[in-house]
Every structure is written in C-alpha cells, then in structure tokens.
Structure 1
Amino acid sequence: MLLASDGSTTVLLEALLECPLVVLVESQQDVSVEELPDRAVTALGLAPGDPVIERRSALVTPDGVPASMNLVFFAAPPSGWSGSASDTAPLGKRLREARTRQHREVLSFGASRWPGDDSGRPCAYKEYVIACDDGVRLYVLEKFHPDHVEPPADAGLLATAGPDAV
C-alpha cells in the first residue's frame, strides 16, 4: 500500500512505524539539469539551463533512526513551502498545513538498494512527482529502510533495476 498509494507516503510511514517523523536535510544545492536522471528531467518538464535544486534528506524517527532516504529535485518551491533546508517538517505535511493543493503521480516503485549500506541490502523504493495547483512540480525518490519496510517479494530480480540516484 505504501508503494502504490498516490497519497502522502509520510502519513502512511508514520502509521506503519507508529511514531512521528522529521526531516534531516543532508544537503541542498543548485545543480544543472544535465546532472539529473532523464526520468526526473522529463517528469519536471525541464529544459537545458533551467535552474534546479537537489535536496537529499532522510525521514527519521524521534530516536534519529532513518525510516527513508529521499532525493527531491525542484526548480522553485511551491506556494506553502519555503524550500528551506532548515525546515524539519516533511514536505507533504508542510504543503497540507499551508493548504497547498497537490497531487502525486507515481512514476515507479519496486526494489532497489539501501544507500550507504555496505551489505547492499534490498529496499523498497517509490518514485513520484508532486504536482501543485500553482504549477510547481517536485520529483521525489524515496527509499525505505529495509528494517521498517519489507522490499517487494521479487527484490532479487528488481534490486538492480530500481533508481539508484539516492
């Protein structure tokens, strides 16, 4: 349900883990369109030379345990979200609090590899676009910690096919 839903993955993940989650921004920087995966460029409708921000973050439990690793690309923040690296509220929650109308378009989901883990453990991932009514689109790739979210049953087949950008 977490992977196929076109709603807030944070809300579903919090329900699954039975705790609130906060964002830890690991890095946020301007990047060139040429550095983005083709699927992100297409999903965001970007052209060469367009400004893009890359945000790498983690959703963590109150104990600081990562629940997911996230990669977000956007040209400008949507109304209701500052785009600030110091904002610890999950993006979807911040948009909802500001009553920013939004819709998620799931691009893909399945199994990939948990980032930074020497064992190369399979993990579940979800790739989607948040489309806001103000015309802003955000590309999101979330990888879920395998201790919290079981990878799909065919993880052995899909582990190398999933997005590896995070």
Structure 2
Amino acid sequence: MIERIIENWVDKASEKAFQVPFCYILIEQGHTIIHMTRHCGMEHGKDIISYDREGNLCAFQLKGAAGAKIKLRDWKQEIHGQVLQLIFTPISHPSVVDNRYHRSYFVTNGEIEEEVSHAIVAFNQQHKDRNQPYNQLHTIVGGQMKNMAHRLGNSFMKAGTYMILRFC
C-alpha cells in the first residue's frame, strides 16, 4: 500500500512539492545539501545544490510534470533556457570554494518525450565532441524517482507529508 501511495504522490506532485522529499533521496545517496532555492529569479536554473558522496559539486533543476511527459514544445519554450543556466552559470554560494565545474541534473516526476531525449543526447554528444564532458546534462525521470522513493519508504512519506502540510 505504501508503494501505491508513493507512486500516486510522485505522479501528482509539483516541483515545489517534491523538492524537499527529493533532498531526502539525495541525502540517502550520500549528498550534502548546500542550498535549496525558494524559486526566485536568483536561482539561475539551480533548484538544489549539493556535494555528492565523492565530493563532486552537483546542481539540480526540478520540473513537475504531474504524471505526464515533458514535451518538446515545453522544452524549447520554458525548460531549455533554465537548463542552459543550470549548466553554464557558475554556482555562487559561500559554501562552494571551487565553482568551475559542477554536474548538472534535470529532474522531473514525469517522463520526457523521445524528441526531448534525443535533444539532450545530441547536446551531450556535441559537448563530448568538443572535449567538454563537464557540460553534460544528466536526467532523473519519474520512474527513477519512484524507485528512489520506494527505497526510502516511510522516510519519503514523512518528507512528502511535511511538504503537503506546509503548502496547504
């Protein structure tokens, strides 16, 4: 039953609603959270900033898809610009000493259309061909988020409940 509740919640959550629970997932994976945005113009495409278990600087752009797919039109009109900021704008935070490179992640609780997937793969290949592997965009999509949330089980539910109560 908990699995079904988690899946239903992940499917329907907005990006603000899954931001804190996603941080719990990252912490469980060994990340140290440095910053969570309040979703203002200063975020520069970075909703969450962390160091992973190996000490790599990471930045995450979250997009709620409410169980749907990110379409190419949405990608081009709204998301692509934020992703470029995510990748190319250096992280500016007092806890970050070396901000030259960071790993960039696009995270959605939905899925991405094949055309968007192709655009991301082509973008990554272009930067790999230019010998710029640090400009890669990694993705975490709905199915992956559900698997991560299932591993956390009750802890994820507590984080989600906290967010629901906070924004209601």
TM over 0.5: no
Which bin holds the TM-score, normalised by the shorter protein?
under 0.3
More helix by share: 2
Task: Write 1 or 2 for the structure with the bigger share of strand.
Answer: 1
- TM-score, normalised to structure 2's length? 0.25
Query: TM (normalized to structure 1)?
Result: 0.26
The one of the two structures with greater contact order (alpha-carbon pairs below 8 A, sep at least 6) is 2
